[in-house]
């Protein structure tokens, strides 16, 4: 995929992997619009990277519809959608599950990518060379017990990605799943030992896009994926204390 002059939308684009992707794609010559819910972070990424930045709650249908309108009006279409926004909360079903937090995780990690993709699909199909990138997680296939809802929502996203790819066969829209390991972001504070930097994930995604890959597995997630193919039980045991 040619990234120069590509019209890009990134959800959760103000920090972590999303911001690193925005910066990397700007360097490639892409025209980038990021969306998020933090006004200060949106202002910072607009100032620092020179990208468009839109306040948008991707769990709100009205905001998603407005996002599609803005993309149509300001970018005149979209070539690359990166569903990156994510939320991770630790849960213990023995001591009590926070259902409000669980619903928000599922809404952000699974339902929002489905909604945003559906809203932008007419614009993606109008592009001669387009891609939808879904940022999943190694926890989708080897769950960490402390994050059961996050793992379940990312597993759902992985299934959605595979089904979407099958539905879009024969079109100009490729579907790419990105599988990072533990990444040093605000969401993983306190667990950064051995974590990769967001910039490493962004660089891997850019390489994968330019090489027209449909799956980008980053860093230690490659080894875990290989182990999971041979012994799912061993992969799950490895993640037990994570």
Query: Which residues are designated catalytic?
Result: 150
Q: Kindly provide the b/e burial profile for residues 226-238, where b requires at least 16 CB atoms within 10 angstroms of the residue's own CB.
A: ebbeeeeeebbeb
CA distance 231 to 119: 39
Given a contact cutoff of 8 angstroms between Cβ atoms, the answer to whether 66 and 116 are in contact is no
User: What backbone torsions phi and psi does residue 152 show, to the nearest 5 degrees?
Assistant: -65, -40
Phi, psi of 130 (to 5 degrees): -130, 165
Q: Which residues contact 20 (CB under 8 A, 6 or more apart)?
A: 197, 198, 199, 201, 202
**Burial (Cβ within 10 Å: 0-12, 13-18, ≥19) of residue 86:** buried
A 10 A CB-CB count for 214 gives: 13
Residue 20 burial (C-beta neighbours within 10 Å; 0-12, 13-18, 19+)? buried
């Amino acid at each position: 995929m040619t990234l120069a002059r590509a019209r890009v939308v990134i959800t959760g684009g103000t920090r972590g992997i999303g911001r690193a992707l925005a910066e990397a794609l700007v360097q490639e010559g892409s025209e980038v619009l990021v969306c998020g819910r933090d006004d200060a972070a949106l202002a910072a990424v607009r100032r620092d990277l020179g990208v468009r930045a839109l306040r948008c709650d991707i769990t709100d249908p009205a905001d998603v519809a407005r996002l599609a309108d803005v993309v149509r009006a300001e970018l005149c279409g979209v070539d690359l959608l990166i569903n990156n926004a994510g939320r991770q909360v630790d849960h213990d079903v023995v001591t009590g599950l926070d259902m409000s937090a669980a619903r928000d995780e599922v809404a952000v990690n699974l339902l929002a990518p489905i909604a945003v993709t559906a809203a932008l699909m007419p614009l993606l199909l109008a592009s001669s060379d387009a891609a939808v990138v879904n940022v999943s997680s190694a926890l989708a296939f080897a769950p960490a017990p402390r994050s059961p809802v996050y793992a379940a929502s990312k597993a759902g996203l992985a299934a959605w990605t595979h089904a979407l790819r099958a539905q879009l066969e024969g079109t100009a829209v490729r579907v790419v799943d990105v599988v990072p390991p533990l990444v040093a972001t605000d969401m993983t504070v306190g667990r950064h030992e051995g974590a990769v930097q967001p910039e490493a994930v962004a660089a891997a995604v850019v390489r994968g896009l330019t090489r027209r890959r449909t799956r980008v597995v980053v860093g230690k997630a490659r080894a875990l994926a290989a182990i999971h193919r041979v012994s799912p039980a061993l992969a799950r045991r490895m993640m037990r204390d994570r």
